[in-house]
Amino acid sequence: MSLLLTTASVPDRDKVAYWNDAVSRTLVPMTVVPQGDGPFEGRIATDRLGYLQVSTMEADANRISRTPTLIARSPAGFVAIGVQVSGTATLLQDGRRAEVSEGDLVVYDTTRPYFFDYPQRFSTHVFQLPRRVLGVPEADIRQVTGTTIGTGDGLGSMLVPFLAALAASAHAYSPAVASRLAGNVVDLFSTLVAERTNQVALEADNARAHLALQVRGHINENLGDPGLSPESIARALRISLRYLHRVFEGEGITVGRLIQYRRLEECGRELARRGGTVPTVSVVAQRWGFVNPAHFSRAFRAVYGMSPREWRGLRADEVEGGPAPDSSSRARVPGADQR
């Protein structure tokens, strides 16, 4: 049987205080501040399905806040899932802002501060699960708190209608069936967390891949600048140097080495150019950002297996009909195919 608490028979002057006490005892301690001028009206019906608590709350426009002080007073940890039946809401938690419309699902954690704004009369289902039964890492739960999930969002298309139907019939199940249904909710919610966590990870991977392409493009456009460096790239792209290096952890090469390899590749290509007037080695080196001839020569030999002059001479022999060099004399430049 549902536990029903309502302001219907409460004197107008006591309605707000009654409502604050009702929702705080039913859900978790919170502060409710009405937004209208007239007498406040609200009702909340609650059922239990094993360790899952299901509440349906209808009330006039109000603002709800759960502060650190209230959390300290009642630290019991729940993950709450709200399904908006009517009206709209705004949830703030973990630095995120979720705009909740009719039919949307929203997740929040009662162990961290949150704020709800209901600008007009509304109705919502609230499902509270003890965090201990979820078996989901804290970091993964934080991926979904303060976010809106609609019926068009992957598993949301299955979970939202299921929860709405469950709330409407929560009073009708035997204890054995209720416990099984609670387990189903846990399984579905855990799957939802995994889906959203993978989505966030994929978005992060895509963002890193896009940034890696930006870095490579910036390097290619600025190879001739002697000042080109990881530090200058980070400044140009407005990211931290640490994040730049982290992006390239999966690229198989550091940013500094990529700059050097790309410069050497362009030098090798220019020195091997057939026909016409070939510039001196020092001119080619300076053109591609090398300011120290000795350093350039050492770096070139390390990659191509010979000095810049030997490389140029070898290519000149090719033009005159001499034997082609074997494959060991050709440089393998990491990232050269990603320019």
The domains found in the chain, sorted by start residue, are 3-200 (2.60.120.10), 253-338 (1.10.10)
Q: Tokens 């009662």 map to which residue?
A: 110
- What is the model's pLDDT at position 153? 65
Is the Cβ–Cβ distance between 116 and 63 less than 8 Å?
yes
Q: What is the pLDDT along the chain (339 residues), one digit of tens a residue?
A: 578 999 999 999 999 999 999 999 999 999 999 998 889 999 999 999 999 999 999 999 999 999 999 999 887 789 999 999 999 999 999 888 999 999 999 999 999 999 999 999 999 999 999 988 887 777 888 878 888 887 766 677 778 888 999 998 988 889 899 999 999 888 888 887 777 776 555 566 677 888 888 999 999 999 999 999 999 999 999 889 988 898 888 777 899 999 999 999 999 988 888 766 768 899 999 999 999 999 999 999 999 899 999 888 886 555 443 333 333 344 444 444 443
Element (H, E) at 41: none
Question: Going by C-beta distance under 8 Å and a sequence separation of 6 or more, which residues neighbour residue 169?
Answer: none
Q: What is the β-pairing status of strands 62-66 and 114-118?
A: antiparallel
Give the C-alpha separation, 8 to 163, whole Å. 27
- Give pTM, 2 decimals: 0.60
Would you state the pLDDT for residue 195? 73
Within 76-174, residue ranges assigned H as helices are 138-144, 156-168
Task: Please give the structure tokens belonging to residue 199.
Answer: 């989505």
Task: Please give the pLDDT value at position 27.
Answer: 95
CA distances from 272 to 266, 277, 280, 316 (A): 10, 12, 12, 8
What is the amino acid identity at position 236?
A: A
Rounded CA-CA distance 149/339 in Å is 39
Under a CB-based contact definition with an 8 Å cutoff, are residues 284 and 271 in contact?
yes
CA distances from 305 to 5, 204, 238, 308 (A): 84, 39, 37, 10
